[in-house]
A and B are shown apart, each in its own frame.
Chain A
């Protein structure tokens, strides 16, 4: 097997909720960190590296120091990873690189958010605010609607093709009691009957915002072995950032995940056909469609035929987002991307209770931020 870049030895997740009362993001980060630490079977003083998201709500700056202090850590390596929905996967290879560089031995990657819908949004002075918002384009829905429309115009893909992605996410969410849509499956017809939000995007093709937090602990493969930890290995990674606003995207029907996945596969010596699990970032149905095509598992424009030809459940021939994806699990803001990592770890070590895939060996994990702008791909492997 390919050399392990690092071992993922502990994961933690807070059950997503629609809103929190009186919770702080710091408090939620602390709770999920404790879950990951217990899962890893470590004492907290073993942690000497810390990677955090770009915002902890009440603290816009000095985030690593604030989180370190709150957790009683004194890391010898810490940083903010600011890649939107790709932040979680982006932490994983950075943790491995920091360990490899000799800066630390065991890294806590933690990301999450409280959610009080009345909280004011911070003032925004970026080019999107100046050049998109005045024309009536506020928020991510419009950007992904433009991407979906471009795909439909170029390839003749249909609303039914996209609805299959949302349908499978909801179907898999029925196997995960923590998912926000547990108990609420959706047929293709249900997806097509959901209201138009920004044509051609319908409500069920869009993630539900929730509060939540996710944490992962990594250490070197050698140390994981000496700890007798239940390890999952990072075998390859790729990253690419191409733009911020959708108007500046170099391509509307293929994204930076394409070269990111190519690099991750090249590093691992594996191909997408070797994967036992596809854990693909799914803020919107179009994101999964484009990622499938960019992965090479189906040709450009071919995702609809691919969706019709396979079973994407845990027992299916192509398990996809077995935790429900964010379309079924809910999107805990920036932690949403990390759910694709924690689910892959649980599947690859055989602890995905009630939804375990058969013969788990390798997983493709993707993260995506902004408007198909920020991409991270990971190839993870089960302990040999």
Chain B
């Protein structure tokens, strides 16, 4: 795998609302919203809670742990800037707090499997530190297939 930091790829298009998420990501933290009314976690960041429409959303550090819901190893990227990294893997990460996010999956010698435990791994992609994920070998349950 090439050094992802050297890629020339599109970065996040942050807005005033989402700035705290990306600022935390740059510090290696995964910051998500939590609703003070219904108590549920929210990702991606929004103006109101999609579960109950409350505007009482507060930022909270996520555990960084999650589970791989699905993944794809990309051979023909949709953006040419990613071609030097191909094949690379992205996946759907169900966060421990509930919501699902799409992220870059750092893979080892074995192919990933749906259901595997993941842990956030801050990773420089194209000159910005983003919340990627890697297989959490310390936290695999008995049968993940």
A199-B70 in contact (CB<8A) = no
Interface: B74 (CB within 8 A): yes
B77-A136 in contact (CB<8A) = yes
- Taken together as a complex, chains A and B put the C-alpha atoms of A198 and B82 apart, in Å, by 13
A196-B71 in contact (CB<8A) = no
Interface range on chain A: under 10, 10 to 19, 20 to 34, or 35 or more? 20 to 34
B77-A138 in contact (CB<8A) = yes
Residues in A121-161 with C-beta less than 8 Å from chain B: 125, 127, 129-139, 141-142, 145-147, 149-150, 153-154
Nearest chain B CB to A351 CB, angstrom units: 39
B10-A198 in contact (CB<8A) = no
A136-B75 in contact (CB<8A) = no
B69-A150 in contact (CB<8A) = yes
B18-A130 in contact (CB<8A) = yes
B74-A136 in contact (CB<8A) = yes
Interface: B78 (CB within 8 A): yes
B90-A199 in contact (CB<8A) = no
A142-B90 in contact (CB<8A) = yes
Closest-by-CB residue of A relative to B103 is A135
A153-B9 in contact (CB<8A) = no
B92-A246 in contact (CB<8A) = yes
Number of A-B residue pairs at CB separation under 8 A: 112
0/1 interface trace, chain B 98-115, chain A, CB 8 Å (1 if under): 001111100000000111
- Taken together as a complex, chains A and B put the C-alpha atoms of A348 and B115 apart, in Å, by 45
Nearest chain B CB to A247 CB, angstrom units: 4
- Taken together as a complex, chains A and B put the C-alpha atoms of A196 and B73 apart, in Å, by 9
A131-B102 in contact (CB<8A) = yes
Nearest chain A CB to B122 CB, angstrom units: 13
Question: What are 11 A-B contacts with C-beta separation under 8 Å?
Answer: A135-B102, A135-B130, A136-B90, A139-B78, A142-B90, A196-B73, A196-B75, A197-B76, A199-B73, A248-B100, A252-B70
Chain B interfacial positions (CB closer than 8 Å to A): 9-15, 18, 44, 69-79, 82, 85, 87-88, 90-92, 100-104, 113-115, 125-126, 128, 130, 132, 145
Chain A interfacial positions (CB closer than 8 Å to B): 125, 127, 129-139, 141-142, 145-147, 149-150, 153-154, 195-201, 245-248, 252
5 more A-B residue pairs beyond the given contacts A131-B101, A136-B104, with a C-beta to C-beta distance below 8 A: A135-B103, A135-B104, A136-B88, A137-B74, A199-B75
Sorted from nearest, which 8 A-B pairs have the closest CB atoms?
A139-B78, A138-B78, A153-B114, A145-B72, A150-B70, A199-B73, A146-B70, A247-B102
